[in-house]
Chains A and B, each alone.
Chain A
Amino acid sequence: MNNQLDEIFAPFTGKSEELIPVLQAVQGEYGYLSDETMGEIARFTGVPGSRVYGVATFYSQFRFTPVGETHICVCRGTACHVRGSGKILENIEGLLGIKNGEVTDDLKYSIDTLACIGACGIAPCVVVNDKVNAKMTPNKVREILNRDKGL
């Protein structure tokens, strides 16, 4: 892992003001920020670990659990909410046996929510690995997941 991190750090100089770009670069590579990578970032930038964690948790763009192979984002914006995205989320949680923000033990699936992807016309939306699925229903959720599972 260290070699990979060294590669990610290579374009940076190790100054404390580079903290956020470094966090972004590491998340870009690993999909999330682990305690180990944040520890190395602290070492590299000279910023205390507690502060690295404080900065990372302040911004919603950073996540601290790995994303699954299939990353499911349920839009919880107003339009989607009105059209039942809450139920959709519950449904997905039920099917995968994990909660919002979690990942399955086999790292196959993870669930997240976001606030409005700007596709209110086709609400409720679920983004699966960057692909937007429109006008979702519990049945369609099952279909997508089954298709993904190769069933």
Chain B
Amino acid sequence: MKKISCYIDDIRIETPEGVTILELARANGIYIPTLCYHPDISPSGNCRLCIVEIEGRRGQHISCMTRVEDGMRIRTDSQEIAEIRRVTLELIHANHTQDCTSCSSNNNCQLQEVTAYIGVNEERLNKLRRTRPLLKIDDSNPFFNLDHNKCITCGICIRTCDEVAGVNALDYSFRGFATVVSTFGDKPIKESVCESCGECVVRCPVGALYVKETVIPAREVKTVCAYCGVGCNIYLGVRDNKIVSVRGDRESIVNKGRLCVKGRFGYSFVDHPERLTSPLIKSNSSFKEISWDEALDIIADKFSKNQGRKFAALSSAKATNEDNYIIQKFTRAVMGTNNIDHCARLCHAPTVSGLVQSFGSGAMTNSIDEFTSAKTIFSIGSNTTVAHPIIGLHVKEAKRKGAKIIVANPKEIDLCRFADIFIQHYPGTDVVLLMGMMKVIADEGLEDKKFLEDRCEGFDELLNCLGDYDLENVSRITGVDTEKIRQAARLYATNTPSSLIYAMGITQHSHGTDNVLAVSNIALLTGNVGKESSGVNPLRGQNNVQGACDMGGLPNVFPGYQSVTDPDKIEKFEKAWSARLDRQEGLTHTEYFTEIGKGNIKTLYQVGENPVLSEADANHVKKALEKLDFFVVQDIFLTETAQYADIVLPACSFAEKDGTFTNTERRVQRVRKAVNPPGEAMEDWRITCEIARRMGAEGFDFESVDDIVREINSLTPSYAGITYDRIEKEGLQWPCPDRKHPGTKYLHREKFAGSTGKGRLFPLLYKASVELPDTEFPLLLTTDRSLYHYHTSTMTGRVRGLKDIEGTEYLRINPEDARKMGVNEGEMVSVKSRRGKLKVKVNINRSCPEGVASLTFHFPETPTNELTICAVDPVSKIPETKVCAVNVEKTEL
């Protein structure tokens, strides 16, 4: 880029072209007062304080809106500038409440800073003071308030809501003196489209938008958010052993300081009074407290009597890598079985089984940060802005930079607002849709021939199979117009780099693996993988579901996806763990409950999970749990599942322990202890080690997580180079095979990870979902997520503000279906499937197409999974939580 030079206050400064005077001055430590500038958003030039003079030009110029030109001579201050600034500032002050000492932004206020620099004339100010009565503070939002009386109408919140959040909840309303920042219809914020992310609050230069009960922390601890798989970096503010504030880490490449509502305001569960503080034992169907010694002795004794395949463990995608490593080691080395699994079975099992076949590795191929440079983003089966809000922001940013967005989803999700093409296909028809798109690509010769030649195998088989996908037929099955399929196919194939995003809409089907293969097919066919900003990106759900898989929390692999049936690997781990290991793959999560029912599994050790609400066909889970001989639950709350336990152990939350989480882009990031655990709660790894030691096992004498990490490094090739000192500031992305390796930004750059080094295309057949609507159960029920809750809401359900915003479940149905059933908004209906029945209120919503209804599974009082079907994918054993048939009838309260 061309360099130019200019003078600011007679100092010669060289700069690349394109920067504004304000930016250049700031970068060079020259102060220019401003109130409406923020580096994250476009300048608006409305505070008129950043004026400067430019030699040879008349008058003053707004420095935030004026680009530096070669040879410019700029003055940041003069008698005239000072006078103009003073008057402008006095006019702002005249409309601003003067209660600095009680203001939450005191000492952190840009108006104070600017005033100190410019100065105001108190006497003149008194004359200018506005006499209108104070406007009412909008305190409707549970997390923050809007005080119009302190607002300086700089518009930073408006531009933030537009450019950073893409929500557009706020804008200026009314005119002249009456101008205020308001929502649509000047309604309370809570009734607007505001998503409570708080990005506006963070950027408000004064105290107009402020967090309720602002408390300044005594210290801050850098750690990783405990909600979704994005893995945003946060600073927890701590005072008196309490988390009093949360802020995003602006240095982090993952979130660049941005957070969603849960990440910013969702941590009051940590010191919730219902936290488990002591081990509990069930006697006469109620729990009573016992000591750790008693509890651990009983467990050690019972576990000793049930070694081998009678035992099964569920580790946790919410726990750290270190916790997961220990739990799987315990299961394999001490209990002598590969019966170890976790909730990845219910979310991305087909990703692992599918992408391993096609690419050789089942993880997101690219980094989150690469989305913003993609030219096309194809989001299929992912409610991105709701389930992965910060990745949603990356997609919105890409759109702002000119990318084209294709959304394929049975529901008209929020992301559709940004979509260039929205494909609303019928649930469960993804294979047909994608194969149809591939047929268009092949017919029109848009495939990447060189990529197919050099790097792929199986193209001919795929080509043969595409003959079966006549586009008219595809359109009939998917319910999507043929022209739309053509347009989407062309866009994805030609407007490259294209990045594909998918999530549960692809995986949670009885043909989930086929869906994943269809996704990898289209990426391989068009050469959209193994390149920067171009790949296949399964968005992982839980904060550490990637890590739990990596650590071998799966029945078929040791840490680092080393097969449990490979004799070399068995030998390696037997030697390292000094134990005899099971030669056979273990059972999966979904199989556990059937086997418990049959009496083949007698003991279950479950860490941080809630299958009573999260497992498909939950009633069969409940029945199974009742049959267990011995059931140990280790968790932070007494969950719905914990009610079935014989012994409950109190664990630490993420804020109370050290370790690492691996986010969806394979980035291993440091989790740090911020507060002490409540009562006698202990870290998961420590509890499991205690049990192991009491069973006489060796190799569990870890003093701290550092020792565990060293063992992980030595046994897991992809994690070998990831040490705590290397990830102190920024996480590393696996594979990272040695200490010098910089980590891997995107996968499959030169060759694919599989044994042949080639990507494999697969011919696929359309398989219908197992249970489709019929006359008895005429509606198709699909499941989705809410922005405000997480999973079975064990955590978010205990955050008052989140419950305030969204407190109950609603069945979302199309207006036409509602009319046919004769139900009105908010009325109670009974929803019945072949497996269960529940009552819920109706929300009539155009987002659902006719014939499709949706529920989340966030609310314990509305156990959606009692309705869903446990028809599993034959390869990955994931249940079909996305499609089942229900009957909906109006009912009394």
Contacts and interface: CB of A to CB of B under 8 A. Distances in A.
A60 B178 CA distance: 13
Contact of B173 (A39, A42, A57): A57
B173 A52 contact: no
B174 interface: yes
A139 B169 CA distance: 49
A48 interface: yes
Contact of A54 (B171, B192, B193): B171
Interface residues of B, number: 16
A42 B193 CA distance: 13
A38 interface: yes
B174 A58 contact: yes
Contacts of B183: 50, 53
A140 interface: no
Interface string A35-79: 100110010000011111110011010000000000000000000
Nearest to A34: B185
A51 B170 CA distance: 8
A38 B185 CA distance: 9
A38 B169 CA distance: 14
A146 B183 CA distance: 41
A35 B184 contact: yes
B174 A50 contact: no
Nearest to A35: B185
Contacts of A58: 172-175
Nearest to A48: B168
A57 B174 contact: yes
A17 to B, nearest CB: 17
B449 to A, nearest CB: 38
B162 interface: yes
B829 to A, nearest CB: 25
Nearest to A56: B173
Contacts of B171: 48, 50-51, 53-54
Nearest to B184: A49
Name, among B170, B172, B193, the residue most crowded by chain A CB atoms within 10 Å (CB to CB): B172
Could you say which interface size class chain A belongs to?
10 to 19
A50 B175 contact: no
B544 interface: no
B440 to A, nearest CB: 27
Contacts of B184: 35, 38-39, 42, 48-50, 52-53
A101 to B, nearest CB: 13
A20 to B, nearest CB: 15
A33 B187 CA distance: 15
A42 B170 CA distance: 14
Interface string A1-37: 0000000000000000000000000000000000100
B186 interface: yes
Contacts of B185: 35, 38, 49, 53
B634 to A, nearest CB: 46
A73 B172 CA distance: 28
B385 interface: no
A58 B180 CA distance: 11
Contacts of A48: 162, 168, 171, 184
A51 B168 contact: yes
B876 interface: no
A115 to B, nearest CB: 14
Interface string B172-211: 1111000000111110000011000000000000000000
Contacts of A54: 171-173, 182
A133 B690 CA distance: 93
Interface in B139-192: 162, 168-175, 182-186, 192
Given A48-B162, A58-B174, A53 B168 contact: no
B193 A49 contact: yes
Most chain A C-beta atoms within 10 Å of own C-beta, residue among B174, B183, B185 = B185
A51 to B, nearest CB: 5
Contacts of B168: 48-51
A48 B162 CA distance: 9
A53 B162 contact: no
Contacts of B162: 48
A53 B193 contact: no
A49 B182 CA distance: 11
Contacts of A50: 168-171, 173, 182-184, 192-193
A139 to B, nearest CB: 35
A62 to B, nearest CB: 11
Nearest to B178: A57
Contacts of A49: 168, 184-185, 193
A53 B175 contact: no
Q: Considering residues A35, A49, A52, which has the most beta carbons from chain B within 10 angstroms of its beta carbon?
A: A49
Nearest to A55: B171
A49 to B, nearest CB: 4
Contacts of A60: 175
Interface in B339-356: none
Contact of B175 (A42, A51, A57): A57
Nearest to B194: A50
Nearest to A59: B175
Contacts of B192: 50
Contacts of B174: 57-58
A57 B182 CA distance: 11
A72 to B, nearest CB: 24
Contacts of B182: 50, 53-54
A18 to B, nearest CB: 18
A39 B846 CA distance: 14
A18 B403 CA distance: 25
Nearest to B192: A50
Contacts of A42: 184
Nearest to B174: A57
A82 to B, nearest CB: 25
Contacts of B175: 57-58, 60
Nearest to A47: B168
Contacts of B172: 54, 58
A134 to B, nearest CB: 31
B455 to A, nearest CB: 40
B60 to A, nearest CB: 27
A57 B184 CA distance: 10
Interface in B374-399: none
Contacts of A53: 171, 173, 182-186
A73 B341 CA distance: 74
B284 to A, nearest CB: 57
A98 to B, nearest CB: 20
Scoring A39, A50, A51, A54 by chain B CB atoms within 10 A of each residue's CB, the highest score goes to A50
A66 to B, nearest CB: 15
A139 B585 CA distance: 97
A74 to B, nearest CB: 21
Nearest to B167: A48
A49 B172 CA distance: 12
Contacts of B169: 50
Interface in B112-158: none
Contacts of A39: 184
A35 B191 CA distance: 13
Of A38, A52, A53, most buried by chain B (CB within 10 Å of CB) is A53
B188 to A, nearest CB: 13
A49 B192 CA distance: 10
A49 B174 CA distance: 14
A57 to B, nearest CB: 5
Interface in B653-686: none
A35 B186 CA distance: 10
A75 to B, nearest CB: 21
Contacts of B170: 50
Given A48-B184, A50-B171, 7 more contacts: A48-B162, A49-B185, A52-B184, A53-B173, A54-B182, A57-B174, A58-B175
5 contacts: A35-B185, A50-B168, A50-B170, A50-B193, A58-B173
- Lowest 5 CB-CB distances: which A-B pairs, in order? A48-B168, A49-B184, A50-B171, A54-B171, A57-B173
Interface of B: 162, 168-175, 182-186, 192-193
Interface of A: 35, 38-39, 42, 48-54, 57-58, 60
